[in-house]
């Protein structure tokens, strides 16, 4: 084999190994797990990852810039509750959705401002806002689920476009948009540069603070939107919704090869990471494995994935 | 052969550069062996292979005629090797005693024996002829004292081979004298000592034997210091006659391109007035703390300008961020290339295009990837950047090539004024020459260059005019005909 073909294969392996793992897993599960490879199950699988998938788009940017966001789980609940309360009080679905999404954006803006302008540590800041807005969700809902009376609201989560559930269409659309944003725009490249070396990025003329604020605010909007869709699918706002979601989202990104140190991220990797997370739960459900064991399996898969990643980096 | 430590055919390659090429020499017990060479000659890389931090691709290290294979730093420590680096490996928030015995506390069944810890530490401090309290936190000590602790640590671990990497670079004369006393004491106790420095006087003062490196190659080992002199070593180090390495030629000067009037800010105090003309390379010399880097920070919008005026081509500009400086056609090559210049884990192409990609956007939003590839390939070709491809990660390039990548970043922008902070530091000699040529070419194209260097011969060899700074102030500006080492140093040194 010539050197160039060798290096090409190595390049493919190091950059797309996770996709290969995904394909192998998919084939194996299709063969060995009954009902796995059916249209119905595929749609169910895709629906089950909508919340994670949507937020993974913006989480990828936060991680790529070298930061964390732990607040997304509470933002989902907070936005869902806000949308539900507003819809019940105004009777207007449009305003409810808008305010719900804006509520999420507000959380993101607070995160971004605290991290970029006040110089607070991202991990601690978003841990704090996670607590604050989980609390706000309970306060706004008096600690109970808020049922929604307007049936029009449910179409967002439960309608179909060309035979495919709307939330899936929305998720796929965002995958495409954020893929373009990461690879084909100055904003995406600046995000990676900041994560790669913040000081060098600043000296190269990148407005680091503004970029970070935009990333976190977008993350807030996205979590808010995911929260509203979730409320629509559940026909209610749930103050307990999405607990622990932030770790699922981060896991999916890491599985997809996003570096926790920042500077490295691919959209294809993140999509595959999201699908792997969903696939594992889905297959375990089909096999009737109890939830308790599912945690163990998912945690183990994450450990293995990170270890593979380190091996890959060492070989470079 | 009576060498205690011997390097045999050590070769270490990094992607795109051969850092060490078949290095062989030996060091006897009870002797001090100097290693000299320009920055980037491979001295530090060799120490890294000795300390186990880097594994050589080829060759072996012998200790007492036994072949050693260090796969990590612990192996090397166990073999009695201690390398004392410029950046000290101490825990600032722990005490002197704790640092001295780190990893090896005297203990009773796992509980630290504080009495014993203190006793041992006190003995060690006395041995080092110092007098500080072992309970003091390391962060409260001076650099010289920290270095002593590092030496003490090596001795606690019973090191038989001690290597010093440029230990005097931030010490005062008095502290250097003390350090030398200790090093000589260690030699008399029979340690094999390697002493890396680029200061020739020190090599002659303290070393028994010495080896000259150049571009990763072993040039010559001198077994008797009486047989060599300063000029011979320098010649071996540089590889060509000293007077032609800068390749300076007179250029035509044009209109004024940059003017600074009485600016003030953090670390920059008074009398900061200077102008740069098209075609001019203006050097800035001063000691550490003279305010040179701080001045660049003001001019690049990294620190607040408290007073004064800056003009680019006669237009007054305000500079509040690097972005604004770039828009006003001023750029910076930072002093710390690795931490502030390159984005190591991104490709050469992305490092080049990071700023200038804004000039060729489609619909003002989408990247023009074809244009970016062309830009990258153009500069890789024009500046002769040694890289397998534009997709290579910048971290894998040698220092000189990384500097060329950063230069390409600004050459692809529309820049009039280049601020270069120690642009040749840590770069091998050949690449230095290429950097000078790029600077001259830029000047010939009508750009203005302000450049900081701590290397006096360099700054004298390259500059048209020389600005001398001292404690945040411009002391004087000399024309090329007026350059003499004595004059420049007398202006730069503090008045006592």
Q: For the segment B246-298, what is each residue's pLDDT rounded down to a tens digit?
A: 888 889 999 999 999 999 999 898 889 999 999 999 999 988 788 999 999 99
- Which of residues B190, B212, B241 is at a domain's end? B241
Mean pLDDT value of segment A164-183: 96
pLDDT band at A14 (very low <50, low <70, confident <90, very high): low
From chain B, the residues in CB contact with A207 under 8 A are 321, 323
Instruction: Check whether residue B29 and residue B77 sit in a common domain.
Output: yes
Q: Does A140 fall in a domain?
A: yes
* Closest residue to B345, CB basis, from A201, A207, A264: A264
pLDDT of residue A7 exceeding 80, the answer is: no
* Closest residue to B346, CB basis, from A193, A203, A207: A193
pLDDT tens readout for residues B163-183: 998 888 777 778 888 889 999
Is the Cβ pair B343, A196 closer than 8 Å?
yes
Instruction: Check whether residue B288 and residue B150 sit in a common domain.
Output: no
In this structure, are strands B417-421 and B448-452 parallel, antiparallel, or unpaired?
parallel
Q: Could you tell me the residue range of the domain that residue A264 belongs to?
A: 18-26+38-315
Instruction: Check whether residue B190 and residue B61 sit in a common domain.
Output: yes
Q: Does A274 fall in a domain?
A: yes
Is the Cβ pair B334, A203 closer than 8 Å?
yes
Instruction: Check whether residue B337 and residue B190 sit in a common domain.
Output: no
B199 and chain A in contact, CB less than 8 A:
no
Higher pLDDT, B62 or B198: B62
Instruction: Check whether residue B332 and residue B463 sit in a common domain.
Output: yes
Q: Does A131 fall in a domain?
A: yes
Q: What pLDDT, on the 0 to 100 scale, is given for residue B39?
A: 65
pLDDT of residue A277 exceeding 70, the answer is: yes
pLDDT of residue A1 exceeding 60, the answer is: no
pLDDT tens readout for residues A117-163: 999 999 999 999 999 999 999 999 999 999 998 888 999 988 999 99
Instruction: Check whether residue B228 and residue B146 sit in a common domain.
Output: yes
* Coil, helix or strand at residue B298: helix
Give the total number of structural domains in chain A. Answer: 1
Instruction: Check whether residue B400 and residue B289 sit in a common domain.
Output: yes
Q: What pLDDT, on the 0 to 100 scale, is given for residue B214?
A: 84
How close does chain A come to B433, measured CA to CA in Å? 25
Q: Does A5 fall in a domain?
A: no
Q: Does A4 fall in a domain?
A: no
* Closest residue to A204, CB basis, from B302, B361, B409: B409
Q: Catalogue the E-assigned strands of B415-464.
A: 417-421, 448-452
Under 8 Å CB pairs connecting chains A and B tally to 73
pLDDT band at A291 (very low <50, low <70, confident <90, very high): confident
Instruction: Check whether residue B149 and residue B192 sit in a common domain.
Output: yes
The closest alpha carbon to A263, from A179, A211, A316, A196, belongs to A196
- Which of residues B241, B274, B306 is at a domain's end? B241
Q: What pLDDT, on the 0 to 100 scale, is given for residue A11?
A: 66
From chain A, the residues in CB contact with B357 under 8 A are 186, 189
* Separation CA B46–CA B55 (nearest Å): 10
pLDDT tens readout for residues A42-75: 999 999 999 999 999 999 999 999 999 999 999 9
Predicted ipTM beyond 0.85 = yes
Instruction: Check whether residue B235 and residue B287 sit in a common domain.
Output: no
Is the Cβ pair A197, B350 closer than 8 Å?
no
From chain B, the residues in CB contact with A201 under 8 A are 343, 354
Q: What pLDDT, on the 0 to 100 scale, is given for residue B113?
A: 87
pLDDT of residue B242 exceeding 80, the answer is: no
Instruction: Check whether residue B217 and residue B265 sit in a common domain.
Output: no
Domain CATH for B227: 3.40.50.300
B340 and chain A in contact, CB less than 8 A:
yes
Domain CATH for A201: 1.10.3470
Give the total number of structural domains in chain B. Answer: 2
Q: Does A122 fall in a domain?
A: yes
- Which of residues B220, B241, B262 is at a domain's end? B241
* Separation CA A22–CA A18 (nearest Å): 6
Instruction: Check whether residue B319 and residue B210 sit in a common domain.
Output: no
Tally the C-alpha atoms within 13 A of residue B318's C-alpha that lie toward its C-beta. Answer: 4
Phi, psi of B493 (to 5 degrees): -70, 145
Percent over 90 (pLDDT), chain A = 77
pLDDT band at B240 (very low <50, low <70, confident <90, very high): low
Q: Does A62 fall in a domain?
A: yes
The closest alpha carbon to B321, from B298, B338, B339, B340, belongs to B298
Mean pLDDT value of segment A160-183: 95
Percent over 70 (pLDDT), chain B = 97
* Separation CA B393–CA B342 (nearest Å): 10
Q: Could you tell me the residue range of the domain that residue B272 belongs to?
A: 244-492
Instruction: Check whether residue B264 and residue B220 sit in a common domain.
Output: no
pLDDT tens readout for residues B57-75: 999 999 998 998 888 888 8
């Amino acid at each position: 084999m010539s050197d160039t073909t060798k290096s090409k294969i190595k390049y493919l392996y190091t950059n797309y190994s996770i996709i290969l793992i995904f394909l192998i897993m998919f084939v194996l599960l299709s063969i060995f797990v009954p009902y796995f490879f059916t249209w119905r199950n595929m749609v169910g699988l895709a629906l089950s990852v909508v919340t994670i998938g949507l937020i993974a788009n913006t989480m990828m940017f936060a991680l790529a810039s070298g930061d964390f966001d732990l607040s997304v789980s509470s933002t989902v609940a907070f936005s869902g509750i806000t949308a539900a309360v507003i819809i019940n009080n105004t009777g207007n679905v449009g305003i409810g959705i808008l305010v719900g999404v804006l509520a999420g954006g507000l959380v993101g803006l607070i995160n971004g401002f605290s991290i970029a302008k006040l110089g607070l540590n991202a991990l601690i800041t978003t841990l704090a806002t996670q607590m604050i807005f989980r609390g706000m969700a309970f306060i706004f809902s008096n600690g109970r689920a808020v049922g929604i009376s307007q049936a029009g609201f449910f179409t967002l989560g439960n309608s179909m476009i060309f035979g495919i559930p709307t939330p899936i269409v929305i998720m796929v659309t965002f995958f495409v948009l954020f893929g373009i944003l990461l690879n084909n725009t100055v904003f995406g490249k600046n995000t990676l540069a900041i994560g790669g070396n913040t000081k060098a990025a600043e000296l190269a003329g990148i407005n680091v603070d503004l970029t970070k604020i935009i990333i976190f605010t977008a993350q807030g909007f996205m979590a808010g939107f995911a929260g509203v869709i979730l409320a629509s699918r559940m026909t209610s706002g749930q103050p307990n919704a999405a607990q622990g979601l932030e770790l699922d989202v981060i896991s999916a990104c890491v599985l997809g090869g996003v570096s926790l140190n920042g500077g490295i991220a691919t959209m294809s990797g993140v999509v595959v990471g999201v699908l792997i997370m969903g696939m594992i739960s889905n297959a375990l459900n089909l096999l009737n494995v109890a939830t308790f064991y599912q945690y163990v399996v998912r945690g183990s898969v994450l450990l293995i994935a990170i270890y593979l990643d380190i091996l890959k980096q060492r070989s470079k | 052969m009576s060498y205690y430590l011997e390097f045999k055919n050590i070769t270490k390659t990094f992607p795109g550069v051969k850092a060490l090429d078949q290095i062989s020499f030996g060091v006897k017990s009870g002797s001090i062996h100097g290693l000299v060479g320009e920055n980037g000659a491979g001295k530090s890389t060799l120490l890294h292979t000795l300390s186990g931090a880097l594994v050589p691709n080829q060759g072996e290290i012998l200790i007492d005629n036994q072949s050693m294979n260090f796969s990590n730093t612990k192996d090397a420590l166990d073999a009695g090797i201690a390398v004392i680096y410029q950046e000290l490996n101490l825990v600032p928030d722990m005490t002197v005693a704790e640092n001295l015995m780190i990893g090896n506390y005297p203990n009773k069944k796992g509980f630290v024996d504080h009495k014993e810890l203190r006793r041992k530490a006190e003995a060690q401090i006395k041995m080092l002829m110092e007098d500080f309290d072992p309970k003091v936190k390391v962060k409260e000590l001076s650099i010289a004292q920290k270095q002593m602790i590092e030496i003490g640590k090596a001795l606690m671990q019973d090191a038989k081979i001690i290597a010093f990497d440029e230990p005097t670079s931030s010490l005062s004369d008095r502290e250097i004298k003390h350090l030398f006393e200790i090093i000589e004491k260690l030699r008399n106790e029979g340690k094999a000592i390697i002493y890396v420095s680029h200061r020739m006087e020190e090599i002659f003062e303290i070393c028994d034997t010495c080896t000259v490196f150049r571009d990763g190659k072993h040039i010559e080992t001198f077994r008797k210091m009486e047989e060599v002199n300063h000029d011979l070593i320098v010649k071996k180090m540089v590889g060509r006659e000293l007077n032609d390495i800068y390749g300076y030629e007179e250029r035509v000067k044009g209109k004024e391109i940059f003017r600074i009037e009485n600016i003030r800010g953090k670390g920059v105090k008074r009398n900061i007035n200077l102008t740069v003309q098209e075609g001019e390379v203006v050097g800035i010399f001063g000691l550490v703390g003279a305010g040179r880097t701080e001045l660049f920070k003001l001019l690049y919008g990294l620190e607040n300008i408290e007073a004064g005026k800056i003009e680019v081509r006669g237009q007054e500009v305000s500079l509040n961020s690097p972005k604004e400086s770039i828009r006003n056609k001023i750029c910076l090559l930072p002093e710390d290339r690795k931490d502030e210049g390159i984005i190591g884990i991104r490709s050469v192409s992305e490092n080049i295009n990071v700023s200038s990609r804004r000039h060729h956007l489609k619909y003002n939003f989408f990247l023009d990837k074809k244009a970016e590839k062309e830009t990258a390939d153009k500069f890789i070709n024009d500046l002769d950047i040694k890289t397998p491809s534009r997709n290579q990660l910048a971290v894998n390039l040698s220092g000189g090539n990384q500097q060329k990548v950063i230069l390409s970043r600004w050459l692809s922008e529309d820049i009039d004024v280049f601020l270069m902070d120690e642009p040749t530091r840590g770069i091998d000699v050949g690449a230095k020459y290429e950097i000078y040529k790029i600077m001259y070419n830029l000047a010939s194209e009508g750009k203005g260059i302000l450049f900081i260097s701590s290397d006096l011969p360099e700054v004298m060899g390259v500059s048209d005019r020389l600005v001398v700074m001292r404690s945040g102030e411009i002391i004087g500006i000399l024309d090329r005909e007026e350059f003499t080492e004595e004059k420049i140093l007398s202006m730069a040194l503090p008045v006592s």
